[in-house]
Chain A
Amino acid sequence: MSQTELPEQLVATTPIELDKPVPQAKTAASNAWWIYILLTLGLVVMVFPFIWMILSSLKGAAELSQIPPTWFPLAPTLENYNKLFNQLDFPVYFMNSAILGISITVLNLIFCSMLGYALAKLRFRGKNMLFGLVLATIMIPASVTLVPLFVLMSKIGLVNNLAAVILPEAAGGLGVFLMRQFMLGIPDELLDAGRVDGAGEFFLFWRVVVPLCGPALATLTIIQFLASWNDFLLPLIMLNNDQSYNLPIALATFAVGPHVSDNGLLLAGAVVVVMPILIIFFLLQRYFTQGIVMTGLKG
C-alpha cells in the first residue's frame, strides 16, 4: 500500500470534530425537508432491528410464532433469559468472551505501543521494512493463516483453550499503526531532553510517551475490545468444546444446530451478545468514531 495515497484525514491524529457545524451547510439547502425524511427512513431501517430484538426477546414462545407478529410483548417474560442462564452455559460463554476481550486488548496495548514507539521515535535498521509489514497485515485475509494455525495449535495441545485465540491476536497491525501515528505527534525535543539527562529508552517510553498517549490508548482499547468480543472466525476454528465457546460461537452454534427454531432463546442470546457493546458504545461513542477516522478501519 503506497504511503502517499492514503487520504490525509484518515491518518490525522488530532480529533476530527464530526459534530461541528459545517460552514458549507450555510450555502447548501440547510433545511431541505426531503433529506430529513430520507435520512429518517434510513435510520429506522438501521435501528429498528435492535429495538425489535430487545422487545421480542421478552415474548413467550406462543407469542413469537403468532401471525401477524405483535409489536410490544403482550405478556413480558424473562423465561428466555432464564433458560439461557440456568439451563445453558451462557455464564461460561460470557466469561470466555470477557477473558478473550480483556487479555487480547491488554496484550495489544502493550505490544502495539512498544512497536509504535520504536517506529515513531527510534531509528534502527529494518524499521521501514517492519512498518511495511505492519501495513501489509491489514490486507492479509485471516483465512490464509487458519489451517496452519489450527495444525500448530493442535500440535502444542492448545485447541479448545482460549490461548489458541489469544496468542495469534495479541499483536495486530492496526494497533501499531494507530500508536505510531499518534506518537509521531509527540515532539522529539521532549525525548531528547530526557536523553541528555541520561534517561533510558524504556524510561522515556513508559514515563514520558505512554502518559501522553491517553486518547490513542483509549481508542485502541475500545476498537480492540469490540473486535475481540465479536470475534468469530478464529474462535470457530479453535474452540470446539462447548465449555470453551465465546458468545458469538455459542449463539451461532445454537442458531444453526440444536436450538435452530427456538427463536426466543436465540433473540435473548443475541441481546446478551450485543448489550455490553451497546452500553460501551453509547457511553463512549465519540472514541469509536474517532478511532475509525484515525485508522480508517472497521471495528
Chain B
Amino acid sequence: MSKADIGLASPRTQVAHPASPKPGKAGREQRNLAGWLFALPWTVIFLVFMAFPIIVSLLLSFTDFGLANLQDPFSLHFIGIENYVKLVHDQVFLLAALNTLIVVVVGVPLNVILSLLVAIGLNRGVNYVRTIFRIGYYLPVVTSIVAIAVVWRFLLDPDTGLVNNLLHMIGITGPNWLGSITLALPSIIFVVVWHNIGSAMIIFLAGLQGIDPSLYEAAEMDGAGKFALFRNITLPMLRPTMLFVTVITSIGFLQVFQEPFVLTQGGPLNRTLTVGIYLYQQGFNFFNQGYASAMAYILFVAIVILAFVQFRLLRPQT
C-alpha cells in the first residue's frame, strides 16, 4: 500500500472511493446515527473531563476562586482581569516564566541537535549493533521521570555523588550542582534533555530512512562532498520531521514539572522554579485556584503561540 493511501491526506482519497451502498435519506441518517454511536463514549469523556474543564478554567481565571469555594463553588466573585494583572507584577511568577523560557530556549535546540546527531550516527556508522544503541538511547524515555530524578539527585550529590567523585579523580573539585544558584537550572536542563533524546532520535531515524537514497547517489555522482550532501539533501528532506520534533519537544519542555519537583523543589532561591511548579503550588498548596487558572491559561496561550511560530518558521518550503 502506498503512503498516499494511508497518510493524513486520506479523508479526501476516501471520499473518492467507490463508496458503500448508496445511501438514501434514511440510509444517510442511519449512517449518521452509527457514526455518532461509535463516537459517543469518547466524546462524552472528552466533553466532561476535557472541554468542560478548559472552559471552566478560563472562567475561574477571572474569579477569586479559593479554598472556601471548594465547599461552596458559587460564592466566588468575578474580579475581571485582576489575576492577570497580579501575575504580571508577581516577581516569583516572572522568575518562573524566565526559568521556563530558559529551559525551552536552551533545552529544545540542545535536544533536537543531539538527537539528530545520534540518529545520523546510528543511521550511517553503525549497522550491526544499531539495535543495541537504539535501545540504550531510548531507555530513559520509557522510565518514570520521578525514578530518574531520584537517581540523578544522588549522582549529582556534591559529596557522595558519582559525578563529583569522577571529577575528583581528574583533579577537579566538583560544584554543588543542584544547590548552586548558577548551576541548578543547567543541571535540570541536562536531566530533561537526557530523558528526552531517545524519543526525538527515533523520529529522526524514521525520517532519515524516508529519504530516497538515489538522491545521495545522484549528488555524489555530481561530486558533492559529505557536508554538501548533509546541507543540501539531509537537512531539507528532514525539515518536516524537524518541525514535528521541535514542536512536540517545545510543548513538553514548556510544561517541565517533575524533574525540578523532585530534584530541587524549585530551589535554590526559586532558580529552578518553573511555571508548572508555581502553578501547582498556587493551586494546590495555597489553593489560590483562580490565580492558578490564570497561570494555566498563560501557559496554554504560550504553547499555542510557540507552536504557531514554529509552524511558520519551519514549515516545508514549496
Contact = CB atoms under 8 A, between A and B. Distances in A.
Interface in A155-183: 155, 167-168, 170-171, 176, 181
A11 interface: yes
Contact of A11 (B7, B146, B211, B226): B7
Interface in B6-65: 6-11, 14, 17, 19-21, 31-39, 41-43, 45-46, 49-50, 52-54, 56-57, 60, 65
With most chain A CB atoms within 10 A of its CB, the pick from B50, B137, B315 is: B50
A43 B137 contact: yes
Interface in A39-58: 39, 42-43, 45-47, 49-50, 52-53, 56
A78 B287 CA distance: 41
B187 interface: no
B144 A230 contact: yes
Given A141-B254, A298-B199, A38 B121 contact: yes
Contact of A7 (B69, B140, B207, B289): B207
A212 interface: no
B73 A151 contact: yes
Interface string A282-296: 100100110011001
Contact of A145 (B57, B118, B122, B198): B57
A210 interface: no
Which secondary structure dominates where chain A touches chain B? helix
Contacts of B45: 111, 167-168, 170-171
A147 B125 contact: no
A128 to B, nearest CB: 7
Contacts, number: 386
B7 A148 contact: no
Contact of A5 (B34, B133, B155, B315): B315
Contacts of B46: 133, 137, 171
A273 B146 contact: yes
B125 to A, nearest CB: 3
A136 to B, nearest CB: 10
A144 B283 CA distance: 11
A248 B7 contact: no
B231 interface: no
Contacts of B198: 46
B51 to A, nearest CB: 8
A207 interface: no
Contact of B240 (A5, A19, A251, A269): A5
Contacts of B272: none
A7 B168 CA distance: 47
A22 B122 CA distance: 10
With most chain B CB atoms within 10 A of its CB, the pick from A124, A125, A147 is: A147
Contact of B130 (A19, A171, A278): A19
Interface in A8-44: 8-14, 16-25, 27-32, 35-36, 38-39, 42-43
Nearest to B295: A143
B241 A168 contact: no
Which secondary structure dominates where chain B touches chain A? helix
A226 B198 CA distance: 15
B50 A137 contact: yes
Contacts of A82: none
B311 interface: yes
Given A12-B7, A144-B57, A201-B34, A255 B139 contact: no
Contact of B41 (A17, A114, A285): A114
Given A123-B31, A147-B289, A10 B150 contact: no
B31 A122 contact: yes
Given A5-B315, A18-B202, A127-B35, 14 more contacts: A3-B8, A11-B8, A35-B125, A68-B168, A123-B19, A139-B307, A145-B57, A146-B279, A150-B283, A168-B50, A232-B146, A270-B150, A277-B143, A278-B142
Interface of A: 1-14, 16-25, 27-32, 35-36, 38-39, 42-43, 45-47, 49-50, 52-53, 56, 64-69, 110-112, 114-115, 117-119, 122-128, 130-131, 133, 137, 139-152, 154-155, 167-168, 170-171, 176, 181, 184-185, 188, 191-192, 195-196, 201, 205, 226, 229-230, 232-233, 236-237, 247-248, 251-252, 255-256, 263, 266-267, 269-271, 273-274, 277-278, 281-282, 285, 288-289, 292-293, 296-299
25 contacts: A4-B8, A6-B8, A18-B202, A22-B123, A24-B211, A25-B125, A30-B127, A32-B125, A52-B151, A52-B162, A118-B34, A119-B39, A137-B46, A141-B254, A141-B255, A141-B303, A147-B292, A147-B296, A148-B57, A150-B283, A230-B146, A248-B145, A267-B151, A278-B139, A285-B135
